[in-house]
Structure 1
């Protein structure tokens, strides 16, 4: 066998495989897609995952199965995404924690947020609402600050994890007001809300979708919105900035895949997510839950996450927030 023929035969398998790969990409998805939510069940990320996952399923013609993997400030779930096969059958819920803040909070990150994921698109901005137990006297943020300063002890607050928008908003609040505030991270939003209602916690900077019904029922008292603008779910509730405390940290969620997913699949995910978020019924359900549906395509979302990483770095350095 001549050297030329031998080289031709060695090249044949990958060349023959190209049509097979192309057909597989064109057929995607031909089985269920796993959507990893790295936050707790019942939290804002879980709610959005189920709402949007349902619409993706309808459009893709395959089940989108929600897999909650909370812990380590979203690092457990997003590590699972980063280490999954880059075939389009695993997606993950990117957030202000996993894809912006954690880089600055953890000494040994299990993934590189800029290199190990491919951006698909934004889903929603998620302003937080400041809520306190109904059993304590304050009726406004100003009254709460005065009450806290007279306590003679630090404030206790909870969040869904280190690096979450809830954690960073509270850390900013403590820095600006000079109030000592102690963080208790939770894996279950339900238990955190119960602890606030029963006054084991003094305050939450909680996602609106997770507490709207309880706040509206009087089980917890809303005193401010932690974000730049008022929100449709509580139109009469002033922002923290309006009440003299310039905290505007806002959570956000988007969709990402492991790096290396083929371009045709990334494009189809982008198109499908965008089309889903354009549906009036889905947009209204997201708004009713307290979030703001936000369409941002792949390239714009990647730029946004890079900008948020730098912004969160500055906030974390200023507040001294860190992992334990």
Structure 2
């Protein structure tokens, strides 16, 4: 026979099951706000809008995407960290806000693990260097040579300080000796607009946000930072093929404030992963150059912890620091 304490505990769990089931079926009763901590037009925004539509249909409530750019994606992340843990305010957590920022910013307003409930990983994608079609260099060796010839070096844009694309620029300069100046924007969309307009000649971007412009010829691909050529862009050489030993991938997921009810977290994870499993979603992400990567909430939290540890020495070695 079970001890009385164990019997009572088991009874409490059984009694709680109807409440948990009710929480799953009754939630949400209001629209959900999904914060994208970058400007419209970049990979974070594209991934959010693609998943939000399917997620809203499955939950029976609209999932409203709200762009909150600023401070290298940490502004929007900090706002969600301070929101009520009711599952109605979520954020697209990403490599910039939750892996790189803890080592890059001297005074970050949140802890990437303690202040969030991590729900689901969406996609992983390689970074890519793209240039204005009239940019003279045709390969990375010519980019390095031109940067050394320029009196003040070569300007290279990114979606903002603290992104993996920013650090790829820093690492490119360190590995090759190129004289590159990082030009941060408030998102990949505004940066790409200026590359197309030849305001800045080149940028480091995530492949999904650059893919449409690459296919349309608005920009020219210089190199993809994957270990091998991407199947969607077989003509685009890797950094390694051009003698630059760099590999850089970004990732994007969904998180909420710390203390999210387990029933809500579980339902969100299942519904998000169901959206990711839809052939139309997988086809669209593949067209953009992203790899769908579903995880459980616990696995996603563990993944982020590993990424924080992995990026800390890279940020330190880069010398990059934001006050």
CA distance in structure 2 between the aligned counterparts of 1:22 and 1:271, rounded to whole angstroms:
14
Taking the TM superposition and a 5 Å limit, the aligned residue runs for 1:165-314 are: 165-314=164-313
Paired residues of 2:188 and 2:205 also in contact (CA < 8 A): no
How far does residue 24 in structure 1 lie from its aligned partner after superposition?
A: 4.5
Match of 1:65? 64
- Work out the CA distance in 1 between the residues paired with 2:19 and 2:220: 59
How many residue pairs get matched? 308
Distance 1:34 1:197 in 2: 32
Q: CA RMSD in A?
A: 2.0
In structure 2, C-alpha distance between the alignment counterparts of 1:317 and 1:113, rounded to whole Å: 18
Structure 1: gaps (5+ residues): 1-17
CA displacement at 1:21 relative to structure 2: 8.6
Q: Distance in 2 between matches of 1:268 and 1:190?
A: 32
Match of 1:46 in 2: 45
Residue by residue over 1:26-53, the C-alpha shift from the partner in whole angstroms, topping out at 9 and shown as x without a partner, is 4111211111111111111011000001
- Residues 33 and 88, structure 2, Cα contact 8 Å, conserved in 1: yes
1:263 to partner: Cα distance: 0.7
TM-score under structure 2 normalisation? 0.90
Q: Secondary structure at the match of 1:271?
A: helix
Q: 1:124, 1:252 within 8 Å by CA — same for their partners in 2? A: yes
Note the alpha carbon deviations across 1:236-267, whole angstroms, 9 max, x for none.
21211222111212111011111101111111
Per-residue CA deviation, residues 139-158 of structure 1 (Å, 9 max, x unaligned), is: 12223222323333311111
How far off is 1:111 after superposition? 0.8
Give the distance between the partners of 1:137 and 1:291, measured in 2 at CA: 29
Is 1:124 the counterpart of 2:123 in the alignment?
yes
Distance 1:217 1:142 in 2: 25
CA distance in 1, matches of 2:318, 2:166: 11
Instruction: Please list the CA deviations of residues 158-202 of structure 1 after superposition, one character each: whole Å capped at 9, or x if unmatched.
Output: 111111111011111111111222122112433312322333323
Q: Check 1:83–1:260 CA distance in 2 against 1; reply closer, same or farther (3 A cut).
A: same
Q: Match of 1:86? A: 85
The 1:25/1:84 distance shift into structure 2, 3 A limit, reads farther
Q: Is the 8 A contact 2:106 2:321 kept in 1?
A: no
SS in structure 1 of the partner of residue 87 of structure 2 = coil
Q: What is the CA deviation profile of residues 187-244 of structure 1, one whole-angstrom value per residue up to 9, with x for unaligned ones?
A: 2433312322333323211122222222223322111102333223312212112221
CA contact (8 A) 1:100 1:308 kept: yes
Query: Partner of 2:268: helix, strand, or coil?
Result: helix
Range that drifts further, 22-31 or 130-139: 22-31
Separation (CA, whole Å) in 2 of partners of 1:268 and 1:254 = 15
1:112 equivalent to 2:111? Answer: yes
Does structure 2 retain, via aligned residues, the 8 Å contact 1:119–1:298?
yes
What's the counterpart of residue 8 of structure 2? none
Displacement, 1:19?
8.3
State the secondary structure of the residue aligned to 2:208.
Answer: helix
* Contact residue 168 and residue 249 of structure 1 kept, 8 A: no
How far has the Cα of 1:288 moved from its partner?
0.9
